Structure 1
């Protein structure tokens, strides 16, 4: 900033100026000091404008960074929610598949038991029929003797 250079010049002028003995004061060239002050007044608005621009630019960058951070957070939250939903869907699918398998196994057991009972019933009837036939054959053989 140019104003800092002007201030350094003013400071140098004060340090190099002759001092008044026993007072701690110094003699300064009025015209030179007034010229430096005039130069400061001319440069000050530019520096203030530049400082204001820097401040506004800083604020704009901070707001943009905050917006971007918020967007990143929202994206992350959406991704997490999606993954949780996907996990829940997968979990429910596994639960449903386990229920279907259990139901199928139960139905298979019932069908097996039903088939055994049916086969036992058919064999029992065949046995009864064969027993009757054997008895008829025995009776017929005895008649033949």
Structure 2
């Protein structure tokens, strides 16, 4: 914007928050493009207009600084809030990880205990099986001996019967004996029961 003698300044600016930068740019542009005073290198500018612009900029500056401070505080509050949330998330993750580790340790301990109980049960089962087999073997050996004796007794009885059946029958009276008390008894081998 140049200010010749014939140019009238009728720019009335309404100053708003955030305009400080644009006002200062306008002043800098006005000084840079101002025509020089004839036969001099001094720029010719409207002093009142420039001073008014600078005063408007200064008037806006506290509000902008206050707004910038507010924005910085909001940013810091937001950063603190997000940091707290991040810390809470990390803490929750750490607690959950500890719980998982504890559960894993509990599971490992339970699995170890289960293996120990299973091994003990298997050992007890083997021991009981061996004891049962030994007991059954002893009982079967006992039955075998009894059956062998019984078989021998039956075989002897059959041989006696065969001998009795091949001998001629003689009528021998059964011999009765008496003991010292006078009671009578008889000899089983002498009877015809077999």
TM-score range, shorter chain: 0.7 to 0.9
Larger relative contact order, structure 1 or 2 (CA cutoff 8 Å, min sep 6): 1
Distance 1:76 1:98 in 2: 32
TM-score (norm 2): 0.64
Give the helix-richer structure, 1 or 2: 1
Match of 1:66 in 2: 83
Match of 2:71 in 1: 54
Distance 2:122 2:112 in 1: 15
The structure 2 residue matched to 1:89, chosen from 90, 98, 106, is 106
Deviation of 1:46 after TM superposition, in Å, equals 0.8
Match of 2:57 in 1: 40
TM-score (norm 1): 0.83
SS in 2 for 1:26: coil
Matched, 1:7 2:7: no
User: For the structure 1 residues 90 and 139, does the alpha-carbon distance in structure 2 shift closer, same or farther, using more than 3 Å as the test?
Assistant: same
SS in 2 for 1:85: helix
User: For the structure 1 residues 139 and 88, does the alpha-carbon distance in structure 2 shift closer, same or farther, using more than 3 Å as the test?
Assistant: same
- More off after superposition, 89-98 vs 45-54: 89-98
Q: Which runs of 5+ in 1 are unaligned?
A: none
Deviation of 1:43 after TM superposition, in Å, equals 1.1
Deviation of 1:85 after TM superposition, in Å, equals 1.9
> How many residue pairs get matched?
145
Q: Which runs of 5+ in 2 are unaligned?
A: 1-17, 164-194
Matched, 1:30 2:77: no
User: For the structure 1 residues 119 and 38, does the alpha-carbon distance in structure 2 shift closer, same or farther, using more than 3 Å as the test?
Assistant: same
- More off after superposition, 34-43 vs 112-121: 34-43
